[in-house]
Amino acid sequence: MLYKFSFAKFLILAAFGSMGTLLVSSTMGEGRDIIRHSLTWQNRERTYWIHLPPEAKMGGALPVLFHLHGGGGTGKGTVRLTYGRFNELADRDGFIAVYPDAIAKNWNDGRKEHLKPENIGVDDVGFITAIIERLKKEYPIDTNRIFTTGMSNGGFMSTRLLCDRADLFRGGAILTATLSEGYYGECNPSQPVGVLVMNGTDDPIVPYEGGEIKLFGKSRGSILSHEDFVKFWKEKNGCHEELPPEHLTDRMRWDGTSVSIRNFEGCRSGGDLKVYDIKGGGHTWPGGRQYLGKRIIGHTSREINACDEIWEFFRSLD
């Protein structure tokens, strides 16, 4: 019994950390075309991975998409999680995909309870900003079209980037995450930003209804519910009207999920808001790997591919 409990605990902690370590044994194919880079930030070497589109797409200024890994994960792990889909889209449409690595595999996303000792005092907002400054020097990037996305810890970190550096990021897509209650009062974007929110109703790790994230008696911080998070961005972006939801045809009934999409009108210029409710969805990336069993992390929706939905949203932003 002790063995079974310990192993289950390991799996759940790995699940909350999203994807990184348990995907190491997966095929490396999706990560073969990313290049490792590093820079010094706060007297530490920090690493990040870049996928560049083909030379044929390198003529003009290129958008930049950051994909932030979950806690316990790695930049390369996010590529495997998504089967390399963002890289394929970058090749097709011409943008730079960036996959940074956090210190001790955890981002300082504003939840103090979540931090490891190694993360205390780490300025990850500054680190991401430093990558952008490096990219400006090395590639012809479109500084008006820089985006961020992430799942779990990477989703919370993407929220923080939108809070702190709305001047740099044109938009963000937040998956299996919302906003820390402790950081709520500090989130004051300097201008409207495009926001896509995608959460599963049956996420066993990050509660859809909000409240405290707690694993084995240890708090990982209290967070806004999915609906309160949507309301937060609706108010920040000045959106006036929520349109009737679009219920997608349940094409993959075997996957245990269905999807509805909500759009908003009357938002301030630049403040587009789009919301995906994944009914039955778990702590997972729609269209990505079922990286652990359904009893541990819930269902992965096959109704949509999150990468495609995210990139189409980013492309639509003025």
Question: Residue 12 belongs to a domain with what CATH number?
Answer: 3.40.50.1820
Assess contact for 166 and 190: CB atoms under 8 A: yes
The pTM score is 0.90
Range of the domain at 98: 2-316
pLDDT of residue 58: 73
Q: How confident is the model at residue 219 (pLDDT cuts 50, 70, 90)?
A: confident
SS3 45: strand
Local structure of residue 168 (DSSP, 8 states): T
Q: For 32-41, 152-161, 171-180, 221-230, which range has the lowest pLDDT when averaged over its residues? A: 32-41
Whether the pLDDT of residue 8 is over 70: the answer is no
pLDDT of residue 208: 98
pLDDT of residue 60: 87
Assess contact for 35 and 91: CB atoms under 8 A: no
Assess contact for 234 and 263: CB atoms under 8 A: no
Q: What are the pLDDT digits (tens) for 225-254?
A: 999 999 999 999 999 999 999 999 898 889
Q: How many CB atoms lie within 10 A of CB 119?
A: 19
Local structure of residue 237 (DSSP, 8 states): T
Q: How many domains does the chain have?
A: 1
pLDDT of residue 32: 57
Q: How confident is the model at residue 30 (pLDDT cuts 50, 70, 90)?
A: low
Assess contact for 275 and 267: CB atoms under 8 A: no
Mean pLDDT of 59-80: 95
Mean pLDDT of 147-164: 98
Whether the pLDDT of residue 10 is over 70: the answer is no
Assess contact for 152 and 129: CB atoms under 8 A: no
Whether the pLDDT of residue 167 is over 90: the answer is yes
Mean pLDDT of 262-291: 97
* Percentage of residues of the chain with pLDDT beyond 70: 89
Q: For 2-6, 34-38, 282-286, 287-291, which range has the lowest pLDDT when averaged over its residues? A: 2-6
Mean pLDDT of 215-222: 82
Rounded to the nearest integer, the mean pLDDT of the chain is: 90
- CA–CA distance, 52 with 66 (Å, rounded to integer): 13
Produce one character per residue of 163-179: b if its CB has 16 or more CB atoms within 10 Å, e if not: bbbbebbbbbbbbbbbb
- CA–CA distance, 142 with 76 (Å, rounded to integer): 24
Whether the pLDDT of residue 6 is over 80: the answer is no
pLDDT of residue 56: 63
SS3 178: coil
Regarding beta strands 171-175 and 194-200, do their DSSP bridges make them parallel or antiparallel, or are they unpaired? parallel
